[in-house]
């Protein structure tokens, strides 16, 4: 207990950036002692917004009016959700998994950025690139609109990295048909080579076309 009091007294003597950094170190040290330290939300940290950057695969998009609502919410209520990130050792940056628009709001609005002292609240996930992509989709599918191209490219990258259709379905919360449709949309025909559902997919398309033709023929006969 005495150590805690001494540390707090020392921190209180610091000013500006030095005090902020000391508080952050203390916060992270306490988080390591928490029985819930494996939960990302138990290890929220503040980092300079310049140390955070977007990923290059996020398929989520938000309308302009919704961005305005987000700005108003953060302006009046502050940050209630941290930005979810991973640490990229090569770039020496925190790369966004979820929360690009919260990051964008801080970076591009001087009033909010100044109030935050140029810092952004984040949590850091420890995941390989495939898992990070899946995490992004899981976070974003529950809200916002998704770019078909972005989703298709992500499925393509995961397939290229050795994920099976079943694994992609499980990680992204998609049906097999949805995954195959995204692959089909991309035009990457090689993704269908040796695909488990290739024959079923082609048969279903053929059946749909045949039914449409039969329906049209029946309508013409009725006339």
- Listing DSSP states for 118-149 in one string gives TEEEEEEE---HHHHHHHHHHHHHTSSEE-HH
CA distance linking residue 114 with residue 13, whole number of Å = 23
Query: Exposed, middle or buried by CB within 10 Å (0-12, 13-18, 19+), for 175?
Result: exposed
Residue 1: per-residue pLDDT = 37
CATH 3.90.1530.10 fits 36-146, yes or no: yes
Whether residue 186 contacts residue 152, with contact meaning beta carbons closer than 8 Å, is answered with yes
Predicted local confidence at residue 119, as pLDDT:
94
Could you read off the pLDDT of 166-193 as tens digits, one per residue? 887 877 777 888 777 777 766 544 545 5
pLDDT confidence of 3, banded at 50, 70, 90?
very low
Q: How far is residue 218's CA from residue 96's CA, in Å, rounded to a whole number?
A: 54
Q: In the structure, what pLDDT confidence band is assigned to residue 209 with cuts at 50, 70 and 90?
A: low
pLDDT in tens, 19-77: 888 888 888 888 888 898 888 888 899 999 999 999 877 656 667 778 888 999 999 99
State residue 112's pLDDT score. Answer: 96
Look at the alpha carbons of 213, 214, 215, 220 in this order and tell me if their dihedral is positive or negative.
positive
pLDDT score, position 14: 83
pLDDT tens digits along 88-124: 888 899 999 888 899 999 999 999 999 998 999 999 9
Q: Which helix (H) or strand (E) holds 46?
A: strand 45-48
SS3 85: strand
Question: What is the reported pLDDT for 179?
Answer: 79
Tokens 């694994």 correspond to 167
For 187-196, how does the pLDDT look when each residue is reduced to its tens digit (9 = 90+)? 544 545 555 5
How is the chain split into domains, by residue range?
1-33, 36-146, 148-223
Instruction: Give 146's strand partners.
Output: 60
- Using one digit for the tens of pLDDT, what is the confidence trace for 119-162? 999 999 887 766 777 777 776 665 555 666 667 777 777 777 78
**pLDDT at position 189, please?**
47
Instruction: Using alpha carbons, select from 196, 127, 204, 202 the residue that is nearest to residue 166.
Output: 196
């Amino acid at each position: 207990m005495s150590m805690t009091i001494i540390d707090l007294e020392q921190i209180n003597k610091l000013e500006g950036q030095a005090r902020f950094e000391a508080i952050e170190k203390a916060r992270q040290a306490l988080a390591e002692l928490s029985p819930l330290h494996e939960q990302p939300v138990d290890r929220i940290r503040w980092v300079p917004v310049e140390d955070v950057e977007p990923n290059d695969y996020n398929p989520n998009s938000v309308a302009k009016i919704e961005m305005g609502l987000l700005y108003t919410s953060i302006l009046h209520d502050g940050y209630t959700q941290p930005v979810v990130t991973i640490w990229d050792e090569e770039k020496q940056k925190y790369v966004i998994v979820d929360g690009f628009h919260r990051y964008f709001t801080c970076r591009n609005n001087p009033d909010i950025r100044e109030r935050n002292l140029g810092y952004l609240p984040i949590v850091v996930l420890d995941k390989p690139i495939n898992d990070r992509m899946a995490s992004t989709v899981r976070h974003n599918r529950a809200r916002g609109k998704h770019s078909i191209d972005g989703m298709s490219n992500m499925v393509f990258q995961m397939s290229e990295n050795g994920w099976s259709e079943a694994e992609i379905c499980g990680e992204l919360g998609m049906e097999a048909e949805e995954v195959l449709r995204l692959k089909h949309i991309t035009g990457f025909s090689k993704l269908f080579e040796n695909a488990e559902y290739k024959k079923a997919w082609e048969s279903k398309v053929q059946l749909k076309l045949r039914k449409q033709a039969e329906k049209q023929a029946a309508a013409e006969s009725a006339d």
